[in-house]
Amino acid sequence: MNLKNPRYISSILPKVLKPITKKFSSNLFKVQSNWENIIGKKLSKSIYPIKMHKTNDKNILELLIIGNNTFEISYRNHEIMNKINSYYKFELVSGIKFKKPLYT
């Protein structure tokens, strides 16, 4: 390391943050931070976004189902996807997967 020529922190940050941004999607953070506004207060108590990943060039959002209403919520798949995409005014989510916690 050359101490005579200082480096700007802005030149180092992308290298440091790249592994973090790969693990924690910024799109997931956007959805999580606006979740109640996107989906509504009632539905946000039943489901919560936990993961977003790409499969075959499609953004798949994984939602954790809270409670015993898995069957009813799975029928609202397209409604949930439309609410998310219309909130951001572009197709942020191409598909949804539902997860149930192991222990409730």
CATH superfamily to which 25-99 belongs? DnaA, N-terminal domain (3.30.300.180)
Q: What is the pLDDT of residue 25?
A: 63
pTM of the model: 0.72
Instruction: Report whether 97 contacts 62 (CB < 8 A).
Output: yes
Domain edges within the chain? 25-99
Instruction: Report whether 66 contacts 46 (CB < 8 A).
Output: yes
Q: What is the pLDDT of residue 67?
A: 85
pLDDT along the chain (104 residues), means of 10: 65 64 69 93 92 90 90 91 95 93 70
Residue 60 burial class via C-beta count within 10 angstroms: exposed 0-12, middle 13-18, buried 19 and up: middle
Q: What is the pLDDT of residue 71?
A: 86
CA 72 from chain center: how many Å? 22
Q: What is the pLDDT of residue 95?
A: 95
